Structure 1
Amino acid sequence: VAVVATALSVEPDVAPEPLAMLGSSIALSISDIPFAGPTGSVNVGLIDGKYIINPDAKQREQSLINLTVSGTDEAILMVEAGAKEVSEEEMLQGIMFAHEAIKEQVKFIKKMAKEIGKKKAKVDVYHVDAKVDKAVRKYADKLMDKVLDEFDRTKRDEKEQELDEKVFKHFGEILEEHQKDIETSLYNLKKEKVRAKISEKGIRPDGRSTHEIRPIWCETGLLPRVHGSAVFTRGQTQVLTTCTLGTVSDMQSIEGLHPEDEVKRYMHQYNMPPYTTGEARPLKSPGRREIGHGALAERSLEPVLPSFDEFPYAIRTVSDVLSSNGSTSQASVCGSTLALMDAGVP
C-alpha cells in the first residue's frame, strides 16, 4: 500500500504534518483497503504551563516542546518530539493531552467511514503451516536454547547458522515446498524465546541484565584539521563525530514549508556505510535512515546550543558510524556532544 500526501498550499500558522497524517488515515479508512485504524494526529505546544493543540507559528516559537503524536482511540502509536529541557512528567502529560484530541479525531473519522466508506476487501494473509510449525518447534526448541545461551554476538550468529542448516537437513523432504514456513517458524521461535528471556529472567541476548549498559569509552581531539572531534564507543557500536565552525555565510539556506526554516545555523549529518554491519553493498546517496537519524540528533542537540548572539558562528557536526550493534543515533548524539565541547562551543 502506498499513500502519498502532497502539500498543495501551506499557511504558516497551520503545520502541514499532522494534516498529512490525518489525510492518510481518512483515505485508508474510507477505502476498501484493510486498515486497523483510523488514527489521529496532532502537534502539541507548552507555553506558561499550558498545553496547546496545533500551535500557530508564534506559539511554536514560544513553546518549550515541539511534540507530534499519532494514535488510535485506544493507544498512542507514534511520538516525535523536540524540547527545551523539560521533565519526563511534562512530556508525558503532553502526550496524554494529545491523546484526548486524537480520540475526537478518530471518532469523527469513524463517522465519516460509516457514511461514505467502501466495504473492506478480503485479503489472504500468509500464515505458517500449522503442522510444519509444530514439527519445527518440537525439533528446534532445545537447540534454540543452546544458541541463545551464547552471549557473544559473532559466535551466536555462527551457532544460529549451524542450527538453520541442521533444521533444513532434518526437514529435507519438505524443504522445497515449505522452506518459507520453516524459516518463519524458526524466526518466531527465536523472537519468543528472546522476549521471554528478557521479561521473565531479566537477561538480554548479550548476557546483560535490564539495568546494565554496554562498556563505554570515549576520546576527543583525534583529528588535527577540524575544530573538534570525538569518538564514542558503546559495546560494538562506534561513532566518530567531527565539528567545524564557520561564518554567517556558511549557514544553510532552506526553502521549506515553515517560515522559521529559511536558514539553518546548526547542521548535523549522519553517515552509516554498509561495512558498519558487515555488508558488502556499494555506497549510495543518503537514504531515509541517514536523513532521519541526522535530523534526530540535530533536533536533540539544537535546544542546548548557545544563541547566535552568544556564539555567532555556523556549526556543522558530521557523525560517521564506524561499527554498528544498536542505537547509532544515540551514539551520534553523545559523540556530537563531545565534539562540540572539544571545539569550544559553550
Structure 2
Amino acid sequence: MEEKKLYNAVRKIITLADGRQIEIETGKLAKQADGSVVVKMGDTMLLGTVVAAKDAKPDTDFMPLQVEYKEKYASCGRYPGGFMKREGKANDAEVLTARLIDRALRPLFPSDYHAEVYVTVNLISADKDIQPDALAGLAASAALAVSDIPFGGPISEVRVVRKNGQYAINPGFSEMAECDLDIMVGGTIDNILMVEGEMKEVSEEVMLGAIKFAHEEIKKHCAVQIELAKELGKDVKRTYCHEVNDEELRQTIIRELYDKAYAIATSGTMKHERSDMFDALEAEFASRYTEEELVEKAPLIHKYFHDDVQKKAMRNMILDEGKRLDGRRTDEIRPIWCEVGYLPAAHGSAIFTRGETQSLTTVTLGTKLDEKVKDEVLVQGTEQFVLHYNFPPFSTGEAKAARGLSRREIG
C-alpha cells in the first residue's frame, strides 16, 4: 500500500563560496503560522515563524513588531542549569540576537502598516561548531517571505570575519580565535541595513571590504527567498487599511507651520525648551478646532506635524545649512566635561558629560569568585569583565516607572 504524504515540503539550497550549503525548508513545521521555515546548515536547524494580526489596534501609529530568539538546550543534548531544569527568560546573548534581527526587519515594513507582528526564531538542533546567530536573520526573513504579510524585504544577515588576511562568511566557533575582524552585516538585495561587531584596529579599507564581501553573500540569500516566495505564490501580499488620512489637513499644516517649525529648529535652543516650542506651535494650530472636531483630527494633526513638518524641517536644516539643532556645525562636537573619583566609597567612578548627555559610571574590582559564569546552549565558560548599562526614564525627563530592564539596556 502506497504511503500517503501528509505534508508538502518545499526546499531551496544556498551554496556558500566555500561549498557549504544552507537549506531553507517550508511546509513541514508550524503550518498554522502565517509563515514558517526551517533553516538548516550542517546539523544546525533554526525554526523561524511569523504571525501577524489581521487588523491594527485602534490609534496605533507605529510598527508593533516583537522579535524573539531562543536557543533550546535540547538542541545539542544539554540540560538547563539550575534547580528547575526549565528554560527561563532569554539570556543576554539571545536578546542581542533578537535585537539584530529586529533592527534589520523593522524599517522594511510599510509605513502605514500597524498590525501586530510576532517573529520567533528557535534553535532546535545545534552543531557545536556552527554559530546559529548568523543564520537567525535569514530564518526570520524567509518566514516573512513565505507569508502574505506586507514586507519590503527579503533580508539576510551574515557574519564576516578576516582570518590570515582573507575574508570568510559564517565561520565556526573554533575559527574565531584567529580572526582580527568579526562583524554581523544585515541587508537587502540592494542595500546594507545594519553593521555591528568588533575588530582589532583594522583600516577603513578593510572594513569596507568586509561589508562588500558580506553583501555579495546576502544578495544570494535574498535571491533564493524571492524565488521561494514566487514559487509559493506569496509574492502577492495581503491588502490592509490601517490609516485614515486627510490630505487637505496635511497640506494646510505643511503650508502654515513649516516655516515656523524651521525657525524653531534653527534657533539653537536647548532640547526641552525646543520641544516646548514645537508643542506650543502644534497646540496653537489645534486650538482652531472644537473639542468634537479634535476627537477625529487631533491624532492626524500630531502625525502630520511630527512627520511632514518637524522632521522635515530638522532634516532640511542639517542637509541644506550644515547646521544641527543646538546650533553646531556638522563637524563640531558638543562641549565635553569629565570628572573622576566623584563617589568616595566606590572602587572607582567617573562622570562623563557631552552636551546634554551624561553618564555616571562605577567600577568594582572582584575576586575569582565574582567571575560571571556563562552557561549558554553553545557557549560555556567565565567572563572576567562585565559591563552593565542602565537607562532610567529620568535620564530623558520622562515621568514613568522603571520596571525591570528594557532590551535597550542589554548590550
Q: Deviations over 1:314-344 (max 9, x none)?
A: xxxxxxxxxxxxxxxxxxxxxxxxxxxxxxx
- Post-superposition Cα deviations, 1:95-115, rounded to whole Å, max 9, x if no partner, equal 110000011111111111111
What residue is the counterpart of 2:159 in the other structure?
43
> More displaced, 188-197 or 222-231?
222-231
- Which segments of structure 1 move beyond 6 Å, counting only runs of 4 or more? none
Matched, 1:170 2:288: yes
Q: What is the rounded CA distance, in whole Å, between the counterparts of 1:154 and 1:280 in structure 2?
A: 14
Distance 2:302 2:163 in 1: 52
Residue 127 of structure 1: CA displacement? 5.8
- Aligned residue number for residue 300 of structure 2: 181
User: 2:262, 2:317 within 8 Å by CA — same for their partners in 1?
Assistant: no
The residue that corresponds to 2:33 in the other structure is none
Does residue 84 of the first structure (1) align with residue 200 of the second (2)?
yes
Matched with 1:282 is 401
* Counterpart pick for 1:160 among 275, 278, 282: 278
What pairs up with 1:93-104 in 2 under 5 angstroms?
A: 93-104=209-220
Give the counterpart letter for 1:222 in structure 2: Y
Q: Which residue of 1 aligns with 2:346?
A: 226
Point out which structure has higher relative CO (alpha carbons under 8 A, 6+ apart): 1
Q: Which has the higher strand share?
A: 2
1:68-83 superposed matches below 5 A: 68-83=184-199
Q: Which residue of 2 aligns with 1:341?
A: none
Q: In structure 1, give the amino acid aligned to 2:338.
A: C
CA distance in 1, matches of 2:284, 2:354: 34
| Pick aligned residue for 2:318 from 183, 198, 217 | 198
Q: 1:56 to 1:101 in 2, by over 3 A?
A: same
The residue aligned with 2:255 is 138
Deviation at 1:171, TM superposition (A): 3.8
* Structure 2 residue 125 is matched with structure 1 residue 13: no
- AA aligned to 2:374 is I
Q: Which amino acid aligns with 2:166?
A: K
Structure 1: gaps spanning 5 or more residues = 296-346
8 A Cα contact 1:229 1:243, kept in partner:
yes
TM-score by length of 1: 0.80
Mapped pair 1:267 → 2:386: yes
Q: Which 5+ residue runs of structure 2 have no aligned equivalent?
A: 1-116
Contact in 2 for aligned 1:128/1:184 (Cα 8 Å):
no
* C-alpha RMSD of the superposition: 1.6
Task: Give the equivalent residue in structure 2 for 1:208.
Answer: 328
Please name the residue that 1:242 is paired with. Answer: 362
Deviates most, 195-204 or 132-141 = 132-141
- Cα deviation, 1:35-80, whole Å, max 9, x if unaligned, reads 1111122111111110010011121121112211111110011111
Structure with the higher fraction of residues in helix conformation:
1
Query: Does the CA contact (< 8 Å) of 2:160 and 2:169 recur in 1?
Result: yes
User: TM-score with structure 2 length normalisation?
Assistant: 0.68
Secondary structure of 1:254 counterpart: strand
> Is the alpha carbon distance of 1:241 and 1:216 closer, same or farther for their aligned partners in structure 2, counting shifts above 3 Å?
same
CA drift of 1:185 comes to 1.1
Distance 2:144 2:345 in 1: 52
Please list the CA deviations of residues 112-147 of structure 1 after superposition, one character each: whole Å capped at 9, or x if unmatched.
111124342111242632111011122212322332
Deviation of 1:18 after TM superposition, in Å, equals: 2.2
Give identity over the alignment, percent. 38
What is the aligned partner in structure 2 of residue 62 from structure 1? Answer: 178
Aligned residues: 291
- State the Cα distance separating 1:217 from its structure 2 match: 0.7
Shift of 1:266: 0.9
Matches within 5 A, 1:293-304: 295=411
State the distance in 1 between where 2:400 and 2:294 align: 29
For residues 9-58 of structure 1, the C-alpha deviation after alignment (integer angstroms, 9 at most, x for no partner) is 22232111122211111110011111111112211111111001001112
